[in-house]
Amino acid sequence: MKRLSIAAFALLCLSALAFAQTPVNLHGRAAQGSVGVVAAAKPEASQVGVDILKKGGNAVDAAIATAFALGVLEPNASGIGGGGFMAIKLANMKEAVIVDFRESAPAAAAADMYKFGEDGKVVGNATVVGGLASGVPGETAGLLYALENYGSKKLSRAQILQPAIDWAKKGIPVTVNLNSIIQSELAKINKFPACAAVYTKDGLPYEIGETIKNPDLAKTLELVAKNGKDAIYKGEIARKIVEAVKESGGIITEADLANYQVKIRKPVTGSYRGYTIISTPPASSGGTHVIEILNILENFDIAKMGDGTPATVHAWSEALKLAFADRAKYMADADFVKVPLAGLTSKAYAKELAAKIDPNAPMATVEAGDPSKYESGSTTHLSVMDKDGNMVAITKSINYFFGSGVLVPGTGFIMNNHMDDFVPKPGSTNSIEPGKRPLSSMSPTLVLDPEGKPFMTIGSPGATRIIAAVAQVISNVVDHKMPIQQAIMAPRVFRMASGDLNLEGRVSINTKNALEKMGHKITVRGDWDAYFGGVHAVLFDKKAKILYGGADPRRDGQAAAY
């Protein structure tokens, strides 16, 4: 472990301050404004959203413009070939809605569709690379559904998409982060000539500071602006998708694309110390287990236990164990499997789980509980809030960086590899079935204050680490009274039901040593490690009437405001 850095010392000093949303802008990531704030994984995308707000658009208009721009500016993480989830609560809506545009399994998919070698692994890594790894994409359908049903109607579809089109034409800057990702995924990129033609120079990574243009993606987005979702799900581009996927071993058909449906879900809801949590239901596991974790921790005085202390980190470790054990047993697409949502988000069930936690030692083994008795019957993220109390959170993905590697020739976009999010064998609640949506950890979340007023919109990329990251930032704000940027920057922890407790490198050496003495097996990761996600959030201080945006220095995020 390193000595305490200047930045870490500043955070330590700030953690002693009383709650106040004063600017904490280490790394230059935060923003504040009185009209609207957008926090996204690329500064250029955040600015796109703010520009839409300035033109009179509402939070949904800004979010959709930002989302399409992210598909261009951060092509390694999301885009037309992927899917995701969106949480929306406009000021005039009594209840929030979840727009589910997650990918679905093709009609020809089956629980035993993948072949396994003698080593027990999928032959040829087929769940990750190539056409058989791709589910039917939902992004364009989902984003346009939200725009048409919840947008202001003051701006046309063409106006919303124009910034993304412009970025595809003029090219995106190669950052340190993007350069690193291209280098790490170079073998996959070069396996597919169409992908290599866009994201390499003769098979070699673009250098930091260079520009990557994608004129084919600009043309695709122009067709979406003109023809709506049919530009992707019917006609020439649909045929190109099918041809590209089939050529690389996949099974998506034109009928699969034409039949894709956006689904409107009722959010899972809970509370944490008086704040209302509104989040994403299955086929995402994220919202349910964010609530479950916070419910467990509500049985402990986290504020009194202290920020980053051995007692607090131990409580987080054990709560994460319990929640991930339940996730493994119960979670899947609720259209196909009965999921005990009411039980998993029950305060009574959480109290039962909390009673299993020994404050002095970690649990050796963890098995899923029985929530049924409480029943009554590398991704990207952006957050938007405006002065009228409109709230939007979108998490979207093509799964692994650069997805399946299959870039559809002539279109500029990469197909997802979200079939890997299924269990690739029969017998699991999350096994493959035609039309089923693979289990996700995406957790776009809205938080209301104890008076039921808009307070925070939040989410993160990072696979299963999303769940812990979102819950930890909420706790940092509520329990430790941190300003939103500090809450995002604070060191994080993560663990599954088994395996090591992962600590970010800035966690105190004294805390690490104390946890090891308690019996925790620990892995220490980097000081600012993207493993722990990339949270983007907006918080409204109603007393000051100021919106504060926070963005994560673990990735390329930055908030913008006016």
Query: Is the pLDDT reported for residue 175 higher than 50?
Result: yes
**Each residue of 26-38: pLDDT tens digit?**
567 999 999 999 9
pLDDT at position 259: 98
The residue-averaged pLDDT of 187-204 equals 96
Same domain, 327 and 445: yes
C-alpha atoms less than 13 angstroms from C-alpha of 124 in its C-beta half-sphere: 12
pLDDT beyond 50 at 6: no
288 & 144 share domain: no
Question: SS3 of 183, please?
Answer: helix
Q: Is residue 12 part of a domain?
A: no
Claim to verify: residue 298 and residue 337 sit in the same structural domain: yes
Distance CA 393, CA 381 (A): 7
pLDDT digits (tens, 9 = 90+) for 463-478: 999 999 999 999 999 9
For residue 541, the cross-strand partners are: 546
In a domain, 510, yes or no: yes
Q: Is 523 an annotated catalytic residue?
A: no
Specify the long-range contacts of residues 207-211, CB closer than 8 Å, at least 24 apart. Answer: 207/174, 207/179, 208/174, 208/175, 208/176, 208/179, 209/173, 209/174, 210/173, 210/174, 211/170, 211/171, 211/172, 211/173, 211/174
Residue 15 in domain: no
| pLDDT of 11 | 41
pLDDT reported for residue 7? 40
- 75 and 142 together in one domain: yes
DSSP 3-state of 533: coil
**Is 4 among the domain residues?**
no
Angle at 349 between CA 343 and CA 354, to 5 degrees: 145
pLDDT of 16 strictly over 70: no
d(CA 18, CA 441): 33
Render pLDDT for 265-313 as a digit per residue (tens, 0 to 9).
Answer: 999 999 999 999 999 999 999 999 999 999 999 999 999 999 999 999 9
Q: Is the pLDDT of residue 21 over 80?
A: no
Calculate mean pLDDT across residues 176-200: 95
**Residue corresponding to tokens 């070699």:** 204
Quick one: DSSP state of residue 414?
Answer: B
Catalytic residue among 140, 345, 379, 395: 379
Average pLDDT over residues 199-209: 95
Q: Residue 447 is encoded by which pair of tokens?
A: 């938080």
* In-domain check, residue 553: no
Say if 24 falls within a structural domain: no
pLDDT value for 370: 66
**Rounded mean pLDDT of the chain?**
92
CATH number, residue 352: 1.10.246.130
Give the separation between CA 312 and CA 518, rounded to whole angstroms. Answer: 13
> Cα(380)–Cα(159) distance, rounded to whole angstroms?
23
Q: In terms of domains, do 201 and 251 share one?
A: yes
Average pLDDT over residues 531-555: 94
The per-residue pLDDT for 83 is 97
* Residue with tokens 């991704």, as numbered in its chain: 379
Tell me what pLDDT residue 132 has. Answer: 97
Residue 528 burial by Cβ neighbours in a 10 Å radius (0-12, 13-18, 19+): middle
**pLDDT band at residue 24 using 50, 70 and 90 as cut-offs:** very low
* Residue 506: pLDDT over 80: yes
Query: Average of pLDDT values for 451-460?
Result: 97
Q: What strands, in cross-sheet order, belong to the sheet with 558-561?
A: 263-265, 97-101, 83-89, 391-397, 380-386, 36-40, 558-561
Q: Which pLDDT does position 400 carry in this prediction?
A: 93
Q: What is the pLDDT of residues 430-445, one digit of tens each?
A: 999 999 999 999 999 9
**DSSP character for 83?**
E
65 plus 146 within the same structural domain: yes
Q: Which residue has the tokens 């949303």?
A: 21
Residues 250 and 395 in one domain: yes
In the chain, how many domains are there?
Answer: 2
Strand partners, 445: 458
The angle formed by the CA atoms of residues 262, 265 and 271, to the nearest 5 degrees, is: 145
Percentage of the chain surpassing pLDDT 90? 89
Same domain, 243 and 281: no
pLDDT, average across residues 343-360? 96
Q: Is residue 170 part of a domain?
A: yes
* DSSP code, position 209: T
pLDDT greater than 90 at residue 215: yes
The tokens for 287 are: 């919202």
Mean of pLDDT values over 504-508? 96
**C-alpha to C-alpha distance for 56 and 282, rounded to whole angstroms:** 34
Model confidence over 310-327: pLDDT tens digits? 999 999 999 999 999 999
Q: Do 337 and 476 belong to one domain?
A: yes
Q: Round to whole Å and give the CA distance between 263 and 97.
A: 10
**Looking at the domain assignment, is residue 550 inside a domain?**
no
Residue 423: pLDDT over 80: yes
Task: Give yes or no: residues 396 and 366 share one domain.
Answer: no
Instruction: Express each pLDDT in 126-140 by its tens digit.
Output: 999 999 999 999 999
Q: Quickly state the pLDDT bin for 197 (edges 50, 70, 90).
A: very high
* CA atoms of 401 and 75, how far apart (whole Å): 9
pLDDT level of residue 18 (50, 70, 90 thresholds): very low
β-strand partners of 448: 276, 454
Instruction: Verify that 487 and 527 share a domain, yes or no.
Output: yes
Q: Band of the pLDDT at 346, cuts 50, 70, 90?
A: very high
Pair (351, 215) in one structural domain: no
pLDDT score, position 2: 38
Q: Please, which residues bridge with residue 502 across strands?
A: 494, 523
- Cα dihedral value 219, 221, 222, 228, nearest 10: 140
The residue segments making up the domain with residue 101 are 44-262+389-421
Q: What is the pLDDT of residue 54?
A: 97
pLDDT(368) > 90: no
